[in-house]
Amino acid sequence: MSSPESANGRVAARALRERLAELADLGTTIALLGWDRETVMPERGAESRGELTATLERLAHERAADPTLGDLIDAAALEAGAPDAPPDDGVIARIARRDRDRATRIPGELVVAIARATADAIPAWMQAREESDFARFRPHLERQVELRREVAGCFPDFAHPYDALLDSFEPGATTASVRDVFARLREGLVPLVEAIAERPPPSPLHGPFPVAEQRTLGLEIARSFGFEDDAWRIDDAVHPFAQSIARTDVRVTARWNEADLSGIFAVMHEVGHGLYEAGIDPALDRTTLGTGVSLGIHESQSRTWENQVGRSRPFWEHWYPRAQAVFPEALGDVPLEDFHRSINVVRPTLIRVDADEATYALHVILRFELEVALIEGTLAVADVPAAWNERMRDMLGVEVPDDRHGCLQDIHWSYGELGYFPTYALGNVVSGQLWAAAQRELPGLDAALQAGDCSQLREWLRRTIHHHGRRLDPPELLREATGSDLDPEPLLDYLREKYTALYDL
């Protein structure tokens, strides 16, 4: 334990925390405005919201790039070298230096340009998607690609320009390493999907599943996961997402469809994201460590709750009677075995967010390949629809009928988030590794899920993943939690075992 004298002497560490708290508050305010924009903001508010967001982005960038912050980080790092200094002080200084280095490389005017381009692109994407007209969105995507190339140009030390974009979402990942993991995924998934295609598909579920009842069941399941009524909320959005304003203010959204139960699975997915943010060590609040370490690790949490838990037989042995009570006409006469097979059907689909576990990563690989080509300049934005449709045909055997069901289905490019998509499949890979580790360390896990008790898994994930925030980089966090580096084999093993049983392969 440090002495009062040494604690009083950590002037720079305390001052750094104060500066980082201000930056965290600005970031949280920007996030809150983004949540509002996607859920309740009137359509005509887009222009003023863009200006407001741009101002806050500029202020945050100026404070992050302020030379005095660099001096403060250096002083805090020196203090952290003292034998009795708290361990977090050194980590805070190290991560703050890395964040500041990235901020100082990107000019403030480029940050503002990106914010304004995004404010213009989001409503244009929504309109283009509604009308299934890529041409309406094309100039906005061209602008976003241009701006992201400028961002990549600020980081000439990366081996590939796409690395600079990928690193902001998945620190340490490279275009080359992602290509390797994706090649191994594709090699394992394609023959599995082909084998399943030769077996008769399960009977589909027949709705309708009224939205009000889906909300009821979705909220009950969310509460069993860890949703707290006085600290969380669920709203509707065109593209489901989660946003943590604080550990005690977590926002999740869903998109509902009366023809199926996709809205309930969307809630499971987004609550998984929320649990990560809500489970971070309170000591890291309003510091640079007080959020998820990467989007791949984040996605591993949502996919674990949606798939390994939410599509498992033990989970539904508890919840299916309740689902039958909520949807008596649709599910009353459907045996659990048939229901379980139906929610785990494997079939190539047009829409990524509706894809099954076996084909999902193929959707992500498609987007990754297109993004790399856009940044390299080997693919023109005007040719995106044709390239998209060709890859859907080659990789999934699906014909794309229109832009709405093709290259306009995701919101990410309107945000200019090139480099984001790979993290979805990387998250799947990590979820496979975490699930294998949880099964080893929690031998009673299946029995707990059968009893409707999700606390075992939630607390294990909180202890192994959530609590750390950004203290550990993704590779280190993964090794501590699972004992291995990034490896698609546990996910492939899980999928083979699951679908061999379901389809009698």
pLDDT tens track for 479-489: 999 999 999 99
Selection from 296, 238, 294, 249 nearest residue 274 by Cα: 249
pLDDT given for residue 61 in this prediction: 87
Residue ranges of the domains in the chain?
4-158, 175-503
Measuring CA to CA, how many Å separate 130 from each of 257, 273, 402, 409, 410?
16, 28, 11, 10, 12
> Which CATH number is 175-503 given?
1.10.1370.30
Residue 370: pLDDT band by 50, 70, 90 thresholds? very high
Which residue(s) pair with 234 in the sheet?
A: 252
Does the pLDDT value for residue 433 go beyond 70? yes
Average pLDDT over every residue of 332-355: 94
Does the pLDDT value for residue 8 go beyond 70? no
Residue 375 burial (10 A CB sphere; 0-12, 13-18, 19+): buried
Residue 4: pLDDT band by 50, 70, 90 thresholds? very low
Average pLDDT over every residue of 187-195: 93
Average pLDDT over every residue of 45-64: 90
State how far the Cα of 419 lies from the Cα of 152, in Å rounded to an integer: 11
pLDDT given for residue 239 in this prediction: 79
DSSP letters for 446-478: HHHHHTT--HHHHHHHHHHTGGGTTSS-HHHHH
Average pLDDT over every residue of 455-462: 98
Residue 5: pLDDT band by 50, 70, 90 thresholds? very low
Average pLDDT over every residue of 349-367: 94
At residue 232, φ and ψ (nearest 5 deg) are -130, 165
pLDDT given for residue 46 in this prediction: 86
Q: Considering the chain, what percentage of its residues have pLDDT values greater than 90?
A: 87
- Tens of pLDDT, residue by residue over 223-275, are 999 999 999 999 998 878 999 999 999 999 999 999 999 999 999 999 999 99
pLDDT given for residue 7 in this prediction: 46
Sign, CA dihedral 378-383-388-391, equals negative
Sign, CA dihedral 304-310-316-321, equals positive
For the sheet with 232-236, list strands across it.
232-236, 249-254, 242-246
Sign, CA dihedral 473-287-428-306, equals positive
State how far the Cα of 71 lies from the Cα of 75, in Å rounded to an integer: 6
Average pLDDT over every residue of 396-424: 95
Catalytically annotated residues:
270
Mean pLDDT of the chain: 94
Does the pLDDT value for residue 2 go beyond 80? no
pLDDT given for residue 499 in this prediction: 96
pLDDT given for residue 9 in this prediction: 56
> How many CB atoms are located within 10 Å of the residue 504 CB?
8
Does the pLDDT value for residue 151 go beyond 60? yes
Average pLDDT over every residue of 339-355: 93
Does the pLDDT value for residue 43 go beyond 90? no
Average pLDDT over every residue of 353-365: 93
Query: If you search the block for the tokens 């720079």, which residue do you land on?
Result: 12
pLDDT given for residue 47 in this prediction: 86
